[in-house]
Structure 1
Amino acid sequence: MSKTVNLIKLSVGTESVEGLAEWHASKRAQTPDGLPRHVTRMWPKRETEILNGGSIYWVIKGSIQCRQVIKRLDEVIGSDGIRRCAIVLEPELIRTQSSLKRPFQGWRYLTPQDAPMDLPEGREAEEALPVELNQALAEIGVL
């Protein structure tokens, strides 16, 4: 039986979950069949595990705030002739418990055990804590 692994990625230039949703609604960020995608240079080596129910967890303003289920990986050849990977996503942004994350480049693997939990039903519309407060709570072991 194949295990599941997630990806974690910084949403560079995004100020909020709503901003990420707006970007995904733009034609530039979509596949020809209208699904949101993120194009990256590297093809994940753990493709089978990702496609076994994995999600991409988005880091926005220093903390993981939401995730999207990964639907498939598409090959994209850029105008420069270089092969890239389009991580094709389900449109729904699922809010998660806020979890601080230091900046990093590219994407990383994230095990299900290390992934923040989804917010309970009815709390999806809550705004994330300010980064400074979130960091202070994490330092004292509350988060």
Structure 2
Amino acid sequence: MVSMYQLPGFEMFASCRETRRGGGILMYVQKEHVFQREPTFFTSCEALGGAVQVRGARLQLLAVYRPPTSVLAQSKVPVFVRELESAVNSVPRDRDLVIIGDININTLVKQNTDTMLYEDTLSDCGLL
């Protein structure tokens, strides 16, 4: 089914769900850029990561999907945040990091403990 989602001029990288029907995560990188997929170690979300060379700079990409309600989401936010922090801290310091996707944490609710944990952890890792 993944073949249905090809885009001209882009290379697709996929991490499909194996234990459930449907879903997964896709990442598209323009074919002119060399993307090197790297293993991701998340139990609390679906993730896909790697490094891409863009205009002479090496950029780290991490695509994340944390479903709002599912078996994966039953892993509480603190588990996700710990895994995200570990992934961020494993990025070589000479690379910029871009995290994309949907984490399903409502950052508009400032007094929520999940929101504060998530935002404080990103800040501690030097991310905006």
> Under a length normalisation based on structure 1, what TM-score does the superposition of the two structures give?
0.24
Higher relative contact order (CA 8 A, sep 6+): 1
> Under a length normalisation based on structure 2, what TM-score does the superposition of the two structures give?
0.26
